[in-house]
Structure 1
């Protein structure tokens, strides 16, 4: 199972105690993956489609527990994708359908709005109901990437109004979700790991939250170690490059003027650097008599480098 499926499976087994929260969750599921079928006689029935058995189970349980309505379930296998199944849950009776739609505020004056959005905020007035609505929306049309790869949470909405409504509900929990259009759909998405942890907490997916936090900690530790290794590697490369240049400069000085022409301090540093090409500045300083600190050794090596540069320029002028 994918990480997203694990989250949905966890949420599907959680049923709110309050009837108002149950209605809020049903409203989200019908709004995002349901439709109302109207017969020639103007009779209603509600049909919810999902490819996730956990979502089908949760919706079936909610309808039975909240309204004591028996639903019809059908399973359809995709002939092209052998493992893919579609679950349809049907509320067949007209009066039962109207009762659910009225309770979920998806109908007004016996008229169903085309976009199936919640007509007013009564169904999500309480904080607990907002949590339930977000939970239902994710079950109906949400997905969450594997945090081992990258962080991405999204809920697919059929139109802009639904997306904006969902975005506003999330803002009540200080979650800054964004909206982007993808083909004919509007996607409400979150990319920051901390915000995804927060939305999992809002939906009360506590097991998934802990699993994601564990992955975050491991990734942060891995990144920290990588940064440290990269930093140390860069320092080693820098030290080796500097040492190679210093050896080249000292060889040039030895060849063109010898160490005898150097002051005692510079001559001693030149000889020791030549003898110990892999030593650090601190180690070079300890080998001097008397010992010298890193800054002192670095100062003398810079003087040798400047002297080598002057000799090279002098040789160029002589050749001209």
Structure 2
């Protein structure tokens, strides 16, 4: 929620936009945060928003652009823990305003989507449309698996219109339905940064991108650490298994072990954590890694052959349960 608040705080302070852009923005706010109501037989236009500063911005735009006098009412949350919300209402001139902004068609029928003049406007107007939609019903998640910009939409038609506007801005967005509610989501990290910049939340876009990069670096480090831990664990298990088999081989063969194979086996037991290359350096005279590996392999094979002939457990029986060879 902190990032969403940052975006909205940045957007609501944008000033001096052209009138057509302000119309697109306030139209989106009214469409995505409210709609039409019938009060005492008259059509009223209402938008319910989550911040007083946004309610005042909407009221000011409606007064300056359409010459109406909205009223602002504070709405208490359902419980004491819910934040207060604010309703912006136009009752007296509600029907006229609804026609002007495209919430009603010429036959007084509610429009389920967005006005065509808004969705086919200029790039600035499309940015204003998306800005209003985000201010009304948008959220920005932190970078990660669930990273996305999401706008909850009042209808599937408005969702598709918002997707189309995003595509005209060069941003990939998709419409989906969650628990019966249409939504528009932008998931790609670059697309999120681009959209935030386009609608006017440049500072938050930079902060979001920096957070994403930090998390990617941290995730990369964690993957390397986990990879190293796994390798160390496997190496330790392999060393325990190898030493257990060598020890069993020496028991099976007793005095019948050729000296060079016995020396290799004892070298393995004396330096349990050492690699084959390191074992070769400990040998006298020094041996190559392949030579050490070959001698230990022959030692185990000779012991297993003897064990099979005598009907006794071989070298594998000495490996503790749960360890890999």
Task: Give yes or no for TM over 0.5.
Answer: yes
Deviation at 1:98, TM superposition (A): 2.8
**Distance in 2 of aligned mates of 1:296 and 1:121:** 81
**Distance in 2 of aligned mates of 1:269 and 1:54:** 80
Q: Which runs of 5+ in 2 are unaligned?
A: 315-325
Deviation at 1:54, TM superposition (A): 4.0
Deviation at 1:247, TM superposition (A): 0.9
Alpha-carbon deviations, 1:273-311, whole Å to 9, x = none? Answer: 111111122321222244344444444433334334333
Alpha carbons 1:124, 1:133 under 8 Å: kept: no
**Distance in 2 of aligned mates of 1:72 and 1:217:** 44
Secondary structure class of the residue paired with 1:48: strand
Alpha-carbon deviations, 1:11-51, whole Å to 9, x = none? Answer: 1111352222111111111111232346677x654222123
Alpha carbons 1:260, 1:267 under 8 Å: kept: no
Secondary structure class of the residue paired with 1:118: coil
What residue is the counterpart of 1:117 in the other structure?
113
Secondary structure class of the residue paired with 2:171: coil
Alpha-carbon spacing, 1:317–1:197, altered in 2? closer, same or farther (3 Å): same
- The answer to whether 1:133 aligns with 2:133 is no
- The answer to whether 1:197 aligns with 2:193 is yes
**Distance in 2 of aligned mates of 1:92 and 1:196:** 37
Alpha-carbon spacing, 1:288–1:173, altered in 2? closer, same or farther (3 Å): farther
Alpha-carbon deviations, 1:230-258, whole Å to 9, x = none? Answer: 11111111111111121112112211224
Q: Which runs of 5+ in 1 are unaligned?
A: none
* Comparing 195-204 and 276-285, the one that deviates more: 195-204
Normalised by the length of structure 1, the TM-score is 0.84
Q: CA RMSD in A?
A: 3.0
| Count of residues in correspondence between the two structures | 314
**Distance in 2 of aligned mates of 1:126 and 1:113:** 27
Normalised by the length of structure 2, the TM-score is 0.83
Deviation at 1:214, TM superposition (A): 2.4
Alpha-carbon spacing, 1:82–1:276, altered in 2? closer, same or farther (3 Å): closer
What residue is the counterpart of 1:160 in the other structure?
156
Alpha carbons 1:246, 1:301 under 8 Å: kept: no
Deviation at 1:182, TM superposition (A): 3.1
What residue is the counterpart of 2:223 in the other structure?
227
Runs of 4+ in 1 over 6 A off after TM superposition: none
What residue is the counterpart of 1:269 in the other structure?
264
What residue is the counterpart of 1:304 in the other structure?
299
Alpha-carbon spacing, 1:107–1:213, altered in 2? closer, same or farther (3 Å): same
